[in-house]
Amino acid sequence: MSTSFAEYAWLVPVFPLAAFAILTAMGKGARKTGPWIGIIGTLASLVLSLCIAFERMTDNADDYSKSIEWLQVGSLKLSAGFEVTNLTSLMLVVVTLVSFLVNVYSQGYMRDDDRISTFFAYVALFTSSMLGLVLSDNLLTFYIFWELVGVCSFLLVGFWYHKPEAKAAAKKAFIVTRIGDLGLLIALLLLFWYMPDHALDFTTIHNVFSTPGGVISVGITTLIALLIFVGAVGKSGQFPLHTWLPDAMEGPTPISALIHAATMVAAGVFLVARTFPIFEASDAAMTTVAVIGAFTAIFAASIGLAQNDIKRILAYSTVSQLGYMMLALGVGSVSAAMFHLFTHAFFKALLFLGAGSVIHGAHTQDIREMGGLGKTMKITAWTFGIGALALSGIPPFAGFWSKDAILAAALDKNGILFAVGAIAAFFTALYMARLYFLVFAGKPKQDGHAHESPSVMTVPLIVLAILSVVAGFVDTPFKGWLGEWLTGEAPEHHGSGIVMVVSVAVGLLGIYIGWLVYVKGTVRRDAVSSRAPALVRTLERKYYIDELYDLLIVKPLRSFGKALQAFDDYIVDGVVRLAGYSTSALGRLNSRLQSGQVQTYALTALIGIVILALAIAGRRFW
Amino acid sequence: MTMLASYLTLAAVLFCVGLYGVLTKRNAIVVLLCIELMLNAVNLNLIAFSKYGVTPSLTGQIFSLFTMTVAAAEAAVGMAVLIVWYRNRATVNVDEFDELRG
Amino acid sequence: MLDNVPILSLITFAPLVGSLIVLLLPGQRSQWLRITAIAFTVIPLALTLWLFAAYEPSVGGAAYTEHETWLTIPLNKELLQGFESSQLRFDYHLTVDGISMPLVILTGIVSTMAALATVHIRKRWKTFYVLFLLLLTGIYGVFLSRDLVLFFIFFEVTLIPMFFLIGIWGYYGREKAATRFLVYNGLGSAAMLLSFLLLIATLGLSATDSQVIFSGNYDVLLANLTDPQAMANLTADQAGAAEFLLNDNMRWGAFVLLMIAFGIKVPIFPFHTWMLRVHTEAPPSIVMIHSGILLKMGVYGLIRFGAFLFPEQLHDWSTIIAILGVINILYGAIIACVQREFKLVLAYSSISHMGIVLLGIASLEEVGLQGAIYQSVSHGLISALLFLIVGSLYERTQTTQLDELGGLAKSMPFMSGILLVGGLASLGLPGLSGFVGEFLSFLGLFGSMKWITAIGVLGVLFAAIYVLRSILSITYGRTPEAFENMKDARFIEALPMIALAALIVLLGVYPSILTDLMQNGFNGLLEQLHTRVGG
Amino acid sequence: MEHLQTLTWTDAWYLAPEVTLSIATIVLALLDLVLPRRINRDIIGWLTLAGLLASAVFVVWLMFDFKDLEGAAQVHTLVGGSYRIDDFGNLLKLVFIGASAFIVFSSLGTVRDEEIPIKGEFYYLLLPAVLGAMVMSSSGDLITLFVGLELLSITSYILVAARKNASQSSEAAFKYVVTGGVASAFILYGMSFLYGVIGSTNLADIMSGMQGAMESSEALIYVSLFLMTAGFAAKLALAPFHVWASDVYQGAPTPVTAFLAVVAKGAAFAMLYRIFFMFMTYFTLNTDGVMKHDVFLALAVLSAAAMIVGTAGALRQRNVKRLLALSGVANAGILLIPLALDLTRLHSSVFSEFIYYLIAYAVMNIGAFSVLTIVARSAGNETISGFAGLYHRAPWTAAGMTILLCSLAGLPVTGGFFGKLFILFATVQTKTYWLAAILLVTTVVSYAVYFSFIRQMYLRSGEVDSGLRLSWPAAVSIWLCVAGTLVLGFLPKPILEWIDKLFELPFDMLVS
């Protein structure tokens, strides 16, 4: 094999970057051609990614990596490079595929927007950065792209900059994820100083931490792992840094699908998977990951039950699903996590794009104002339904297989984690049922001007729906192909029947209850809210987390800033002013001395000489 | 040496009286006179040293002659200035010399 | 071809020549004046770039060194026992090395951009350009000169034009700001001068049989510092002359004075208040110079004189400096978060960024020191860019109050975009220059002071808060009616903006372009540290 | 040296500069009397200038006459050592004559009859004043020193009162008479004790008799030194003896103010250096710590006080002449520093430091006063706001003034900068850091003082919009001062080398 596609993997992010450059250079003038440039750019990446992926599947080739020196300081070298492994090639396909579909979809969705070419430029930049992140062979390069995708997310969330909510959401998205980035940055610094030869590349990290009783002590390992996890928590919207993700729904819906469901938010999971040996070397870190993941899964799902904004429900669902992935990682199953990431990317993108289609048609995001859309928006309804089933973990849809893998892995580790996961799955099914039935079933609440979206939007839905059905079969309990491909190990036996039964049962139960409440009406809708209003209210207000942060962090910080400001004005600057003032006071004293009375002058002089004489002569006696 | 000491004491007293006068007297002419008094104290000193000093010499007396001459000239100028001022302001009260201040 | 050309002198004095030419031009022809002034900022820039292209990091700037005796002043001969005469000698000594090279380039770039930005100057062009060019001579001189007195003179030469530039062309509080600038910086210079003279009187001493020479030449000082046989290092009984000895107390005294002198310039908390006023009151093109270059003179001084002449003292104080750096970072950043005036946000952010530089210096590691310089260059470009935009914005909106601004992205998408780029660079976004400087500085210090660095890293978070808060409230949100029909940047404004933004990206993506320059800059210092402090 | 020496005709040669001035004074006085009223008295001014220049020529001639530059210096003493023709004196004489010539020159065509009715006298009375200053710088005897001092003082009293019709002028003169008289009395009183314990007024005798006098009556010498210190402090206007200065400077005609600030102050310094340097050398050679430290510490403290008070006082002052008076107080403090420092083997260039700064001080002050005369005339008052908008009215004058102010503030590259630099270096060499710190800090604070002019000139717009009328002599002298300031800044080397070559401490200053 003289050349392989992998050697050209660096081109994958370059295509969208080129698209970004062209779009930026063209400026506003590219309303018509702009989208096409974006689409072609991502298409090229998709094709190349598929080639790489197929190449790896057929040959099962060695990992390919190549790096150049980015920065040399004295004897220290920092390099930048890319690496193609099975894991990265999988991610490449996911990212390019979703990105391509979203590009196509956006051409319809954003048709009427003035700044459509800017939108496509941002998306291209994001895609490029995300691909760069995926391809990075070392943590520093990874971090660089990690931040870049954050910025793109920020830009796209705030795309409709004139909306105050969008502005606030963009700001929040950036700042909250930055908290996580901080952790990652410190972890990076720690790694740099503790790794032999200051190596930061994943291969070396893998080797160093996989060696039992390695060079780095357990304490430091735990610290590094936890700090990396903080980064992942920020990016993947895990508790307690999840608050930005639902707010980020202020961005255009295709963005929610691309960035805040399928790709960027999964980067946290990808990060943990990439640096998994560090976590494996520390039990504490693993436990933390698992607990946080499980807690986030149930926590976000429970909030999702009480939301009314279609995108927010999906956002909390994303948070919850990312929690599942973290849980999987925490219990040691990289393949389950990646599997869920893989399937989730498709069905969640599908759901978001579907939601976008709904919003496009219904001109509202509040599910209480919708209803009966299934009649007018048939394709949307069908594809959305498939996505919902996939998410709810109903076989044979993709979500079932991956969620099942996670639950099985959890059960292997700890019963409580499994229980939590199962309950969360129940919630998931319930809120999806509520969402689906409220939106598509029942009578139309609007004046019937809802209409099906154009084909440029529905075709991606259909493609994603198909993927949501079939994607799960790459790794069933019966044939763990994906896991083997990813980890290079023999498939684990996670296909315990109990798990499967429980998983399907809670899913169906959730849907059934949802059906009872929202379609059949056997149970009153306010059955819970009338009995436990506080509970519902707490859920609606997302456990008051935002308020709590505002009270505990934002407000004190602002007051502290004001106090510091006052300190700066009155103390630091005050001392300066005081020095100036006392100097001129001395001058004024002198002016007063110059009273015009010559005898006073002489007296002053006399007193002066006496004091001087006494002081000089007298200092000997003290 | 007692002689010298007493002269020196007298001179010191004169000097202080002169200085006191300069500092306190309201009449400008008296102030000028008091300066003369201070200079005369110096003269007394010089002459005393000239006669009773460690190494008596004529120099002290010569010095005092110069001093007297100079003092006279100074007094003359002082008076002249005072007259000009009196012409402008019709007073010789030192307290009222306060146009320049601040 | 250019071997015998005194290129460093040309760089330094070309603006002065320009200044004189502008002086002779008729005052009404503002266009001519502007073109002449810009031409004479471009000449040193071109020379600097040529120097950059020809510079060999492994060789250093020795090839370009210009060294002449400038002044020899006979001191005394009467009471001098054992020698025939004694002299005070000041040299005209210019050279470049890896430390000054990046800053010289920065000066060339930022000054040219600032010259382009002077379109906002609406009165007394002639005087403005005369002073502007004079200021540049001072700045180049500071970075290039290697004689303490020459350095001091250039340092002072920057003060006077700045006083006028703030005082005449500034905003409402200009006079106070100018005076405070002058006096505060004057105090810094005074401390510096005292320290310098102390060094000249001891370290600068070289005695032959017949002559005692007190030299202000930096190389002589550096050589004497490491030479155990130098008078300044001999104990009193060895030399038989206690007056030559630079004892520990004097070393500390000189060191602390230098820290204060350059600390005021940097500025280090709590010496920063003067600089807030300059940032808010001076005209934008001058703030570009001030924030972009003048503050870096402090950094340069800290490294050139603080670190190289007093490595032991700096080593002993590295924790203090690191803590001061962290205070700078957090103090500046937190206050920046609550400002209502954009220029003050930028001013406090400068304090914060300069704190990162201090961390780099405190590390006394090559990575950190290079990071400090890198951060200086990067901050120079970023703040120049931001103030350039501030100037253009103010010209249109007549306000820089955050509450009054908003939604400018609609009427001025280009400027808003560039502003965002600048802001993102300021908050240390990877891929832009700010990140590299910060990262290297943190990396350098982290090896020795983990906790302090970790606290300092928090500043990155606050940077995100104040940058986004202020920039979003300018460009995002609803557009007030008054701002709806405003014009975006003109070509003459856009040109420097694009250039600066491009450089910021370039430095962010390809940092080697700068770090390669600095490659051998710190060898001497680090060797000295290792041999004398023991690592 | 008990036998009296008489003045011979050869000796008279050495007195040529002084004699020239005396003759010129008498001739001009007579001329002023006989010339009819209608003739403009500027002619006397020109003749005064000629007299001064002739005297200067003689000084230079004398300097080169008996000194071949390679060989050792010679000192010519007259009348038993009571008058000395040495380079200390000669250099200072040149400064005094030069400064006076500048003052006369810039007054020509600027001083008006309404202001100074006695213009003829005003010009020619400068001559005896300069003569007094020259005598002070050249004397080797307490008596000659005193006579010179009084000659200068008494003529200055008259000059201060030259604005006959202004009560301010006579008030200033009276105040000057009183403080000057008292100061003289103090100096004299101190001298009398010195004479008393040694038995001679000759400085050489005093030097040689010191050892014995110290042993027998140390206390009296102590008293004597303190009395003289007080007297000189008052003459030099060192804080806290400075209070009269502002009033006198304000009341006097501006050229006279310049004269007081430069020549009178310089002459007092000459006398102080003559007397105290002797003690310093004595104390240094005979390591008698106590008195040395007391006396020179007192000087250092006075100098510090002067710098602090002068600078701080000037900060709030709006009247330019009072402001410059206070600036003079601060500068007097700086000029005192070289004397107050220890004389060590590394620091013995006291004189170079002193005279270099004196020259710089003279040049920048005279220039500033010349500008002030013109500006105050056009503004109608002497407050600092008269300078408002000067830049717009007379940009070149404003630029010149800026350079002078920079020099006063000690900013590079000017004479004031290097002058201060050398003095500062001396403080560092002698490890007198506290004084160095005070010098530096007051210098920086003085930026605020001098830049308040600059603020007015450039940053404010004045009420008067018309241009500024300069007489050509005034313009020339201003620009000569500016040029001098810059030359002193850019080329300190030739001047200092020249001084160094000329000046031999043991011969020229130490009277042995």
Residue at B59 is within a domain: yes
Tokens 């020899």, residue located: C72
The pLDDT of residue D483: 94
The pLDDT of residue A230: 92
Q: From A59, A30, A39, select the one nearest A108 (Cα to Cα).
A: A39
- CA distances (Å), A320 to each of A305, A413, C490, in order? 12, 20, 49
Is D179's Cβ below 8 Å from some Cβ in A?
Answer: yes
Tokens of B17: 């009286």
Which residue has better confidence, A371 or A2? A371
Residue at B63 is within a domain: yes
When pLDDT is cut at 50, 70 and 90, the band that residue A479 belongs to is low
CA torsion D116-D118-D123-D129 (nearest 10°) is -100
The pLDDT of residue D179: 92
When pLDDT is cut at 50, 70 and 90, the band that residue D459 belongs to is confident
Residue at B99 is within a domain: no
Number of separate domains in chain B: 1
What is the Cα–Cα distance from A375 to A611, expressed in whole angstroms? 105
Q: Is the confidence at residue A525, as pLDDT, over 80?
A: no
The pLDDT of residue C82: 65
CB–CB of D443 and C190 under 8 A?
Answer: yes
- CA distances (Å), A52 to each of A6, A58, A60, A61, A83, in order? 6, 10, 11, 10, 12
Does residue D150 contact residue D138 with C-beta atoms inside 8 Å?
no
CB–CB of A594 and B24 under 8 A?
Answer: no
Of A148, A162, A568, Cβ closest to residue C479? A162
Judged by average pLDDT, the poorest of C37-41, C306-310, C419-423 is C306-310
What is the Cα–Cα distance from A36 to A107, expressed in whole angstroms? 8
CATH of the domain at B75: 1.10.287.3510
The pLDDT of residue A2: 47
Q: How many CB pairs under 8 A join A and C?
A: 130
Strands D76-78 and C211-215, by their bridges, are unpaired
Nearest CA in chain D to B82: D174
What is the Cα–Cα distance from A446 to A371, expressed in whole angstroms? 8
Work out the minimum CA distance from B19 to partner chain A, whole angstroms: 9
Per-residue model confidence as pLDDT tens digits over C448-505: 888 899 999 988 899 999 999 999 888 888 888 888 777 887 888 888 999 999 999 9
On chain D, the residues whose CB falls within 8 A of the CB of A602 are 178-179, 182
CB–CB of C167 and D459 under 8 A?
Answer: yes
Tokens of D79: 């009348």
Chains A and C touch (3+ CB pairs under 8 A): yes
Residue at B27 is within a domain: yes
Chains C and B touch (3+ CB pairs under 8 A): no
Work out the minimum CA distance from A31 to partner chain C, whole angstroms: 16
Beta bridge partners of A83: A65
What is the Cα–Cα distance from A201 to A217, expressed in whole angstroms? 19
For residue A269, the tally of other CB atoms under 10 A from its CB is: 27
The pLDDT of residue D507: 63
On chain B, the residues whose CB falls within 8 A of the CB of D218 are none
CB–CB of A598 and D179 under 8 A?
Answer: yes
Q: What percent of chain C has pLDDT over 90?
A: 41
CB–CB of B55 and D247 under 8 A?
Answer: no
Is D392's Cβ below 8 Å from some Cβ in B?
Answer: no
On chain D, the residues whose CB falls within 8 A of the CB of C84 are none
Is B84's Cβ below 8 Å from some Cβ in D?
Answer: yes
Is D451's Cβ below 8 Å from some Cβ in C?
Answer: yes
What is the Cα–Cα distance from C518 to C202, expressed in whole angstroms? 30
CB–CB of C270 and A164 under 8 A?
Answer: no
Q: Is the confidence at residue C231, as pLDDT, over 80?
A: no
D179-205 mean pLDDT: 91
A116-145 mean pLDDT: 90
Q: How many CB pairs under 8 A join C and D?
A: 118
Is B13's Cβ below 8 Å from some Cβ in D?
Answer: no
CB–CB of B100 and D182 under 8 A?
Answer: no
Q: Which amino acid is at A366?
A: D
Question: Within the 45-84 window of chain B, which residues sit less than 8 Å (CB to CB) from chain A?
Answer: none
Does residue D485 contact residue D364 with C-beta atoms inside 8 Å?
yes
Is D226's Cβ below 8 Å from some Cβ in B?
Answer: no
What is the Cα–Cα distance from D188 to A262, expressed in whole angstroms? 101
The pLDDT of residue D1: 42
pTM for the predicted model, two decimal places: 0.92
Angle at C122 between CA C117 and CA C128, to 5 degrees: 70
* DSSP 8-state secondary structure symbol assigned to residue A490: P
On chain B, the residues whose CB falls within 8 A of the CB of A602 are 22-23
Q: From D222, D266, D245, select the one nearest D89 (Cα to Cα).
A: D266
ipTM: 0.90
CB–CB of D185 and B55 under 8 A?
Answer: no
Q: Is the confidence at residue C239, as pLDDT, over 60?
A: no
How would you class A582 by CB atoms within 10 Å of its CB: exposed for 0-12, middle for 13-18, buried for 19 or more? exposed
Per-residue model confidence as pLDDT tens digits over A9-58: 888 889 999 999 988 888 776 677 888 888 888 999 999 988 888 888 77
CB–CB of A599 and B24 under 8 A?
Answer: yes
Question: Which SS3 state, helix, strand or coil, does residue C91 take?
Answer: strand
On chain D, the residues whose CB falls within 8 A of the CB of A583 are 312, 315, 445
Q: Is the confidence at residue B38, as pLDDT, over 90?
A: yes
- B partners (3+ CB pairs within 8 A) are A, D
Of D347, D447, D459, Cβ closest to residue C175? D459
The pLDDT of residue B10: 94
Strands C205-207 and C211-215, by their bridges, are antiparallel
Q: What percent of chain C has pLDDT over 70?
A: 94
Tokens of D80: 């038993």
Is C342's Cβ below 8 Å from some Cβ in D?
Answer: no
Work out the minimum CA distance from A599 to partner chain B, whole angstroms: 5
Tokens 């001459």, residue located: B69
The pLDDT of residue A494: 54
Work out the minimum CA distance from A594 to partner chain B, whole angstroms: 5
Of D428, D493, D496, Cβ closest to residue C198? D428
Residue at B98 is within a domain: no
The pLDDT of residue A214: 67
Is D422's Cβ below 8 Å from some Cβ in C?
Answer: yes
Q: Which amino acid is at D306?
A: A
Work out the minimum CA distance from D34 to partner chain B, whole angstroms: 23
Q: How many CB pairs under 8 A join B and D?
A: 146
On chain D, the residues whose CB falls within 8 A of the CB of A605 are 179, 230, 233-234, 240-241, 243
Judged by average pLDDT, the poorest of C107-111, C321-325, D136-140 is D136-140
Is C253's Cβ below 8 Å from some Cβ in D?
Answer: yes
Is C152's Cβ below 8 Å from some Cβ in D?
Answer: yes
Of B94, B99, B100, Cβ closest to residue A599? B94
- A partners (3+ CB pairs within 8 A) are B, C, D
Work out the minimum CA distance from A570 to partner chain D, whole angstroms: 22
Q: What percent of chain D has pLDDT over 70?
A: 94
Q: Note down the domain range covering B84.
A: 3-93
Work out the minimum CA distance from D388 to partner chain A, whole angstroms: 22
When pLDDT is cut at 50, 70 and 90, the band that residue C1 belongs to is very low
Work out the minimum CA distance from A606 to partner chain D, whole angstroms: 8
Half-sphere exposure of A122 (CA within 13 A, CB side): 24
User: Which residues, 6+ apart, have CB-to-CB distance to D488 below 8 Å?
Assistant: D356, D359, D360, D363, D407, D414, D415, D418, D419, D495
Residue at B101 is within a domain: no
Judged by average pLDDT, the poorest of A314-323, A387-396, B67-76 is A387-396
CB–CB of B23 and A606 under 8 A?
Answer: yes
Residue at B33 is within a domain: yes
Is A29's Cβ below 8 Å from some Cβ in C?
Answer: no
Question: Which SS3 state, helix, strand or coil, does residue C401 take?
Answer: strand
What is the Cα–Cα distance from A309 to A434, expressed in whole angstroms? 12
CB–CB of D437 and C152 under 8 A?
Answer: no
On chain B, the residues whose CB falls within 8 A of the CB of D384 are none
CB–CB of B62 and D150 under 8 A?
Answer: no
CB–CB of C366 and A576 under 8 A?
Answer: no
Q: What is the mean pLDDT of chain C?
A: 87
CB–CB of A603 and B23 under 8 A?
Answer: yes
Is A576's Cβ below 8 Å from some Cβ in C?
Answer: yes
Tokens of D508: 């020229």
Q: How many CB pairs under 8 A join A and B?
A: 27
Q: From C73, C42, C209, select the one nearest C136 (Cα to Cα).
A: C42
Residue at B79 is within a domain: yes
Q: Is the confidence at residue D317, as pLDDT, over 70?
A: yes
Tokens 């307490």, residue located: D142
